[in-house]
Amino acid sequence: MNDHDEGDDEATRLAKARLAELRQEHLDLGAAVTALTEQHSPDMILIARMKKRKLALRDQIVLLENQLISDIIA
């Protein structure tokens, strides 16, 4: 194995770790949104912000997944 392959392996490992972090944050936000919506008088502005952040996370997750898949195929 050459140095380039080791760098690729490290980059893949870091990307997978970041992907796991993003997925966990996405799940946590989903749980928080659910909890907030169940309150007697939920803060709809906060919920909207959290949902927007959740969508942004989803976009990042998809982008990173696509990059990882293209790296595996190449």
Establish if 55 belongs to a structural domain.
yes
Residue 34 resides in a domain: yes
Is 5 within the bounds of a domain?
no
Q: What is the pLDDT of residue 7?
A: 64
4-52 pLDDT, tens digit per residue, is 556 678 989 999 999 999 999 999 999 999 999 999 999 999 999 999 9
The verdict on residue 48 lying in a domain is: yes
> Does the residue 1 lie in any domain?
no
pTM: predicted TM-score of the whole model, two decimal places: 0.81
Q: How many CB atoms are closer than 10 A to CB 57? A: 20
Task: Tell me what pLDDT residue 6 has.
Answer: 63
| Residues 15, 65: Cα–Cα separation, whole Å | 9
Residue 54: partners with Cβ closer than 8 Å, 6 or more residues away? 26, 29, 30, 33
Q: Is residue 6 part of a domain?
A: no
Contact criterion met (CB below 8 Å) for 25 and 58? no
At residue 1, the pLDDT reads: 44
55 vs 7 pLDDT, higher one: 55
Print the domain residue range for 58. Answer: 16-73
Structurally, the chain folds into a number of domains equal to 1
- Look at residue 60 and tell me if it is in a domain: yes
Alpha helices in 2-43 (DSSP H): 3-37
